[in-house]
Amino acid sequence: MVVSEIVKKLIDINGEKQVAESEPMSRHTTFRIGGPAKVFVSPDNIEKIIKTIELLKNEKCDYFILGNGSNLLVADEGYDGIVVSTESLKDLNIEREDGDETYIYAEAGVMLSRAAVLASESSLTGFEFAAGIPGTLGGACVMNAGAYGGEMKDVLETVTVLTRDGDVKTLTKDELELGYRTSVIAKKDYIVLSAVIRLENGKKEEIKAVMDDLK
């Protein structure tokens, strides 16, 4: 791998501000430790992350997909490859309403706490458990994150992933094979791009009270 050539191609896809060389991983993990990644890239939309992964596979580069870095320890010598961060994939919005249920669309880099706040402010219940989990939606889908009696499997409607072959697939709840801290995403090394969460209408005061209690 000729790093300078890879960096140039990554900049062509993502823009100069989204690509860095010798980026300290201590800036991107909650433990605030870890040496430098050879190259760090943070695509800011789904099309760019798909193109970035396609490039890295074609160039036979080692790469690592990074979310919030909240379950990650990085060695002092760093990572001798490309770190692809989902931190800039932050689209989050109410997608549609259907009777007593409402659906939220979120990209992989959205923090669970941010999605929980949107749900609370929109009087939507079912996602209170996630308010204190220090991770992203992408990581939560991979491992079926859960706490305080709730899990992602309770609220996920669909998850859109990028497969090893470079195909984009939308998986239903049944296809996700969600179990205790596992999923088909983890088993098949898929990359989460976005997800749709299904929540029920509730009372804002009660939702906030539960979230405050959990905190």
d(CA 189, CA 192): 10
Structure token digits, residue 41: 């890239």
Once rounded to an integer, what is the mean pLDDT over residues 32-51? 98
**Model-wide pTM > 0.85:** yes
Residue 26 gets which letter from DSSP? G
Measured between alpha carbons, how far is 133 from 171 in angstroms, rounded to an integer?
A: 23
* Tens digits of residue pLDDT in 69-95: 998 999 999 999 999 999 999 999 998
Per-residue tokens: 65: 């997909």
